[in-house]
């Protein structure tokens, strides 16, 4: 109690105490009501953020795919591999004109048989060493390949002559001949003999392992000095 309160009578002091008590109780009551009346702030429903796929799905709603039915197919068509029997039949039907009357004797082949696993190798003396090494390494891209499996000797001969002529007509100078490597290596022996006789063959070598190994040869041909088909395009 303060000094000023001592000058009051006892009754006044009691009355003042009651008044102060009422004021104090009223303040506590108001404070409690304010505390109980506090409501949490509502910020709307709590949702997890959407990922990229959900956002994209919403963005694409109503979008229709383009009709591709009228779009032209521009994929280049792959050339079919040459069939040896087809080449042989063509040679028989068309005669010797396409092969420029090339005569390949079997005598050299018969006199020089090769083993099934032997590596074949041939080149003319004037051929550059680097060119031959590139052929040996499979670095020279070949124009076309013919598989002689299942052919007779005559069919194989015709097929070899045909594919050489085809390469010359297209101004290409590397071909691949798959002769196989059976126990007797018959076709391999004949191919080895024929190619050594052909005037357009500059070199041949057994292919790298990933291109047929000793079951195939890569053949380097002379380029035609004058090719009317390609001269006309210049």
**pLDDT tens digit sequence for 96-148:** 444 554 678 888 888 899 999 999 999 999 999 999 999 999 999 999 999 99
155, part of any domain: yes
User: 188 lies in which domain range?
Assistant: 102-220
64, part of any domain: no
212, part of any domain: yes
Q: What DSSP string describes 171-232? A: T--EEEEE----SS-HHHHHHHHHHHH-TTEEEEEEPPGGGTGGGEEEEEEPPPS--HHHHT
67, part of any domain: no
4, part of any domain: no
- Answer yes or no: are the C-beta atoms of 185 and 115 closer than 8 Å: yes
DSSP lists the bridge partners of residue 218 as 176, 205
Q: How far apart are CA 4 and CA 26, in angstroms?
A: 24
Predicted local distance difference test score (pLDDT) of residue 43:
58
**The pLDDT of residue 180 is above 70:** yes
pLDDT band at 188 (very low <50, low <70, confident <90, very high): very high
Cα 229 to Cα 85, 163, 201, 233, distances in angstroms: 27, 17, 21, 7
- pTM exceeds 0.85: no
Residue 113 DSSP code: -
CATH number at residue 145: 3.30.1370.110
Cα 37 to Cα 26, 74, 120, distances in angstroms: 16, 75, 102
166, part of any domain: yes
130, part of any domain: yes
146, part of any domain: yes
Number of domains in the chain: 1
């Amino acid at each position: 109690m303060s000094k000023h309160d001592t000058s009051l009578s006892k009754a006044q002091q009691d009355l003042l105490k009651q008044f102060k008590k009422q004021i104090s109780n009223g303040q506590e009551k108001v404070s409690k009501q304010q505390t109980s009346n506090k409501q949490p702030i509502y910020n709307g429903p709590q949702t997890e953020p959407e990922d990229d796929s959900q956002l994209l799905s919403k963005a694409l709603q109503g979008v229709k795919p383009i009709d591709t039915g009228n779009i032209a197919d521009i994929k280049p068509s792959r050339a079919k591999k040459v069939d040896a029997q087809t080449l042989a039949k063509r040679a028989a039907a068309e005669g010797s004109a396409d092969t420029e009357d090339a005569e390949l004797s079997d005598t050299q082949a018969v006199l020089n048989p090769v083993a099934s696993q032997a590596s074949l190798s041939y080149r003319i003396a004037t051929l550059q060493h680097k060119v031959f090494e590139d052929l040996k390494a499979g670095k020279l891209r070949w124009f076309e390949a013919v598989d002689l499996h299942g052919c007779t000797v005559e069919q194989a001969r015709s097929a070899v002559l045909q594919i050489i002529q085809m390469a010359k007509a297209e101004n290409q100078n590397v071909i691949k001949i798959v002769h196989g490597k059976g126990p007797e290596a018959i076709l391999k022996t004949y191919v080895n003999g024929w190619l050594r006789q052909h005037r357009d063959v500059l070199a041949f070598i057994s292919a790298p392992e990933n291109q047929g190994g000793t079951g195939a040869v890569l053949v380097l041909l002379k380029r035609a000095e004058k090719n009317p088909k390609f001269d006309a395009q210049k």
